[in-house]
Amino acid sequence: MKLIPQGLRQLARLTLLPVLSLGLLAGPAQADSYPNKPIRLVVPFPAGGGTDIIARAIGQQLTESRQWTVVVDNKPGAGGNLGVDAVAKAPGDGYTLVLGQTSNLAINPALYAKLPYDPVKDLKPVVLAATAPLVIVVPNSSRYKTLADVLAAARQAPGALVFGTPGNGTVAHLAMEQLQKAAHVRLQHVPYKGSAQALTDLMGGQMDLYVSSIPTAISHLKGGRMKALAVTSDKRSSQLPQVPTVAESGVKGFEANTWFGFMAPAATPAALLTTLNTAINQALQTPTVRSRLMGEGGEVLGGSQAEFAALLKTDLQRWGRIVHEADARID
């Protein structure tokens, strides 16, 4: 065995130390430089809707405050499933996110017989962005002045009153299934493909009531073409402060909201998830973003990854039960 002279051993240690240091610092250095290319933010619905508005408001704020490049990619289809699935199958490098919501993260797993992704196994929560209630509306000419009036009429004539929603398995549809069960009434459901034709039919007297997002209905409410009977949140909406909640209207404990939250592919490193959580939380607290989201009838949330994960777990069980009880399935 050859012995290495003392001087050479010292020289070798001095030479190797910088190399080892570079290797140890490579991971943190890469994290510190994030992001060094555009972040793709998938919106699983068409441009112009509530989810798209939230995504663009936060993306713009991240660009202005952090100089990040956030590219919103609208990928609609299959009730939001196409966009969510694209992100579930994307590389976990922090450069692909999705702004999901109650329907495609908590309802669709029970609603669809074959869902191409698992929201718990294939995705990681980043942060909740906002929550928004629905509003139950009637035409301005309706004889119903309150939700209590509707429920009383429904008890007298089970199945006679007709309500519309944007479609089978939507939060609006399942919220009304939940309401019927809680209030011990039976209504007739007419699902639409979106809200445009439904609102036209409502104002034309072809249905008794409709369950809408606040942004979709608010111009008609302000224009006096429709009346709002109740909102589905546990407290009144800042956009419609004069409108009582369903709980205030006699159905105690009722609540049914749509929430919106950022998710990333499951393989995304924890350090990057933390960076994203911090950045988006800060964006949510800016006056510009808060004003934009509240103007759409939403309430800003934010919070930790763990809080989002806990809500998702609870809502998967809750909405799954409601889907099963309503026998609402999409093959």
Contacts of 59 (CB under 8 A, 6+ apart): 41, 70, 71, 72
Q: Is 239 within the bounds of a domain? A: no
Contacts of 218 (CB under 8 A, 6+ apart): 239, 240, 297
- Which domain does 220 fall in, by range? 135-231
Q: Where are the beta strands (DSSP E) in 23-147?
A: 39-43, 70-74, 96-101, 123-139
Say whether both 60 and 124 belong to one domain. Answer: yes
pLDDT band at 30 (very low <50, low <70, confident <90, very high): low
The mean pLDDT value for 121-134 works out to 96
Say whether both 121 and 266 belong to one domain. Answer: yes
Say whether both 127 and 175 belong to one domain. Answer: no
Q: Is 200 within the bounds of a domain? A: yes
The mean pLDDT value for 44-58 works out to 89
Q: Is 23 within the bounds of a domain? A: no
Say whether both 270 and 295 belong to one domain. Answer: yes
Q: Is 17 within the bounds of a domain? A: no
Q: Is 106 within the bounds of a domain? A: yes
Please indicate whether residue 16 or residue 75 has the higher confidence score (pLDDT).
Answer: 75
Q: Is 6 within the bounds of a domain? A: no
Q: Is 7 within the bounds of a domain? A: no
Q: Is 237 within the bounds of a domain? A: no
pLDDT in tens, 187-205: 999 998 878 889 999 999 9
Say whether both 165 and 207 belong to one domain. Answer: yes
pLDDT in tens, 33-44: 899 999 999 999
Say whether both 176 and 109 belong to one domain. Answer: no
- The CATH number that applies at residue 83 is 3.40.190.150
**Cis peptide bond N-terminal to 133, omega within 30:** no
Q: Where are the beta strands (DSSP E) in 156-303?
A: 162-165, 188-191, 209-213, 226-231, 257-265, 299-300
